[in-house]
Chains A and B, each alone.
Chain A
Amino acid sequence: MKSTLTAVLAAMLIVALPIAASDQTRWLNVHVTEAEEGANVEIHLPLQLVLAVINSVDVDNFHAGKVDLEISDADIDWPQLLAAVKDSPDGEFVKVDADDARVRVSKSAGTLYVHVEENDDNAIVDVSLPMAVIDGLDIDENNQIDIAALLSTFDHLPNGDLVTVNSDEATVRVWVE
């Protein structure tokens, strides 16, 4: 009886594994709810589609998946900065308390958190960047950010929110699943 049950379970596993493996599509989701207009926008696209399109875009400052940040006057050593963020221990890096806004940048359990509270718009912005995303963040010496490389890292992220914005005007949620 026991061996029959084991055989049945093994057979179920053999059948179920390929089914689970075949449904590997990762989805990029964006939800925007605009309070004033009462509009609600839900975008649910396969990450692969987004990546392929981004790699093909060829417009003004967006070529082959790279966007020019247009900050040529800023002399920033991006690789060093990103390495510093990655290698630093958990803790709060940035704390700004001003009249119009509060900003917190911290790192905890392999994730970089950016929290901004803006008083004027009554807006709260939360960004969660797992270190895998920081690893994929590639900004070259010409201040061009490789968006395609960045999005490629989403493929290996666990399901969860990346960006949430809550303000009087709108709420925005970006997540992968």
Chain B
Amino acid sequence: MHRQSGVSTVGAVLLAGLAATLATLLMMDWMFVDVQTPEPESIHIMVPFPLLAGRVAAGIVPDDVFRDAEMPPEVLQQREVVLTALRELADTPDATLVRVDADDAIVNISKTGDDLLVSVDADDARVRCKIPVDGILDALEGWDWQTADPDLIFDILGSASMGELVTVEAEDGTRVAIKMW
């Protein structure tokens, strides 16, 4: 009997499965923790972390654990101030909002697009932070402000635009970056 050449059914299913898995992985939100230590024993570690995995892991943790981690009552009291400030900030045009020039550090807080950019240039470290205003607002509006909620972190991270979210460059050359993809 003559066997027909070409892709077998099993092969096609495997290929389709692989393609689907790859597509799913690409579509997921990923967080990368990138750590680079200085010379001469320079180490570069990049840890990819799918946010979905974090959500699943947080979902497995018993509710009691988070219910016990109650926030101080002062946090709830500040709810309206924080949400109001964020709502207004979301509508604020792009501008430098705060700048502090001191002997040992320069701090800059500015609004660019949907992000609040915080930069600190200190004698011993350089920090850059990109805060997604809309994402934080959405996450905080859905939070009860009374108990610790890990989903809050994942919601904020998920709303961040692609690129570096936080970078810290220490005086000794160590660089830590949290990147979203």
Taking Cβ atoms with an 8 Å cutoff, the residues of A that contact B are 23, 25, 27, 37-46, 48-49, 52-53, 55-58
Any A CB within 8 A of the CB of B89: yes
Residues of B within 8 A of A37 (CB): 102-103
The prevalent SS among residues of B at the interface is mixed
Q: CA–CA, A45 to B85, complex, Å?
A: 11
**Is the CB of B93 closer than 8 A to any CB of chain A?**
yes
B88 within 8 A of A: yes
Interchain nearest-CB distance for B120 vs A (Å)? 14
Quick one: which of A27, A46, A57 contacts B88, CB cutoff 8 A? Answer: A46
Interface residues of B (CB under 8 A from A): 77, 80-81, 84-85, 87-89, 91-93, 95-103
Using known A-B contacts A49-B85, A52-B88, determine if residue A58 contacts B100 with beta carbons closer than 8 Å.
Answer: no
How far is B98's CA from A44's CA once the two chains are assembled, in angstroms? Answer: 6
Q: CB-CB < 8 A to B103: which residues of A?
A: 37-39
21 residue pairs bridging A and B, Cβ less than 8 Å apart: A25-B93, A37-B103, A38-B102, A40-B101, A41-B98, A41-B100, A43-B98, A44-B96, A44-B98, A45-B97, A46-B88, A48-B88, A48-B91, A49-B85, A49-B88, A49-B92, A52-B87, A53-B81, A53-B85, A55-B84, A58-B77
Residues of B within 8 Å of A27, CB to CB, are 95
Min distance, Cβ B74 to any Cβ of chain A, angstroms: 10
Shortest CB-to-CB span from B17 to chain A, Å, is 51
Q: Which residues of B contact A55 (CB under 8 A)?
A: 84
Query: Contact: A40 with B88, CB < 8 Å?
Result: no
Are A52 and B85 neighbours in the complex by a CB distance under 8 Å? yes
- Contact status B97-A56, CB under 8 Å: no
Closest residue of chain A to B102 (Cβ to Cβ) is A39
Is A56 a contact partner of B80 (Cβ separation < 8 A)? yes
